[in-house]
Structure 1
Amino acid sequence: MKVLITGGNGFLGKELRMQFQKNNYDVIATGLGKDRISYHNHIYLELDIQSPSKCLEVLQKHQPSIIINAAALTDVDRCQLNQSECLSINCDSLNNFIPYSIENRIHFIQISTDFVFNGKKGEYKENDFCDPVNYYGFSKLEAENKIIKSGVDYAIIRTSLLYNLTGNNFLTRFIKKIKENVELKIVDDQYRTPTYIFDLVSAILIIVKLKKNGIYHISSGESLSIFDIVCNFVKNMDSNTSLIKNISTKDLSQKAIRPINSSLLIDKAKKDFNFTPMNLNDVINRFL
């Protein structure tokens, strides 16, 4: 079975490529620039998802039965400052995939975000009201609405604060700075449900295999402050936690507002396909 994975050079995209390959899917990956995985056994193509003609060329040539759209502009402040670029990549580019997907009955998997919520209450369910507080969240919500209204066979996967112990992600960037004895100022009043990358990829594999439809929240389901997340890892790495200073959101000078508590409930995924993610301590105890 052929699966097309956009955003194939990204943190999530690279892991999706390798895990779908291991599960005997015929993988076609696309991304910007040269392939960032040195060794694999699948096709990689340079592709700007904003180009209608190039996207159609790839679709017609390779004829996937599944598309996983992991391509996105995720830099929240950049999205706020460059709104046209943000909307073009995160939403308008779907026009280059959805009509073909409808015509050819393709299962379309969209990776979305907890930032579609305003963060005023936390513990969000899939059917809770969406009210993003920044343009990144707005662009991803617009994408969700476009997909739902189109009639395509879809699954939308909202996730939160994706991490691994290797690769380029928020956690490894913090840990690198600690090892370099750089003082970190981290907010202690913003809450997320951190998501171990292998749990997310495993859930996507199941959703594809079972041909699930609708919206799913995929995360650890464990609401923690960003400060606590980083401190827990640093403590277990025998590193100097005194370099980590807690600050409040009001002390930041970010261009885009962040939701205070965008934690996601994962009851639907647990019920529908027995999703059992690792929480933060599980990951720490197993790998550190």
Structure 2
Amino acid sequence: MLSLLLALLTGSAASVPLFERQATAYPDGSKAGPAPKPEWLRSLNASKLAGQIPAIPPSTVSNGNIVYPSGVDLQSICSWTLTGCFGPHDIQEAPDGMYGVSFDDGPLADSPLLYDFLKNNNQTATHFFVGNAVRDNPQIASQAFANGQHIGVHTYTHPYMTTLSDAQVLGELGWTMQIIHDLSGGYVPRFWRPPYGDADNRVRAIAENVFGLTLVGWNQDSDDWCLNDSGGSSCGSEGPSNLAALESEISRWINSSSSPGIIGLEHELSAQAINAFINTYPKLDSQRWDAR
């Protein structure tokens, strides 16, 4: 009986694949949680029937803080935002001696500066793309694909993922994967990074069981998003005040112990953030990091 129900929910063994080239328009990205495609919902329902998706209520944002309903055990739901918890399949650090090069929030107007530098130095990186940024900057995204860069998912509208319903989580992940698949000629991402690191066991399970996505966190945070192209900082004392301060922080990582290896949180949001990576990149080789 269970196998029959699963077959009905997923459309049988001859079901429609989760990703075929999209013929209609992509969501405009003005509202979090775009409506998912029917085949993604069928896969979600099958996962729920199989007991793979825990029934954790969505959180809310209050005064800038993530809040769950009373009675929710924050440790048991593995909320990264509130307890720093990583799931059993999450990746948050690199093997000893390795430096995981990654950038969030692209593709954007300043991104070609980064892509050209990586290509000229024969260096690959993981770019966690935002779906509506791909929609708005298809030619820049295509440059990353053409350069052989590794592309991950950073959701479609960059929301706090634990605040969304199950269907909204599907839309955020699925549409980002869809537009990457279509623009790249068939590439399907296998890794994702939640905006602000906000994830719990419900969100992880949907990503893993419906889309086969593994969550990638970080163990070093640059706060480079604070800097803008005009040379200012939006973070006050909480982050780097200028390019020199940002480069000092990244250099600190590079000069630190090689165990564990590093996965840094960096962004392609501004020329300043990109230049901080470019200017400190030669130190990776001098410190014998295996950058990938």
Relative to the length of structure 2, the TM-score reads: 0.29
Query: Which structure has the larger Rg?
Result: 2
Higher strand share: 1
Relative to the length of structure 1, the TM-score reads: 0.29
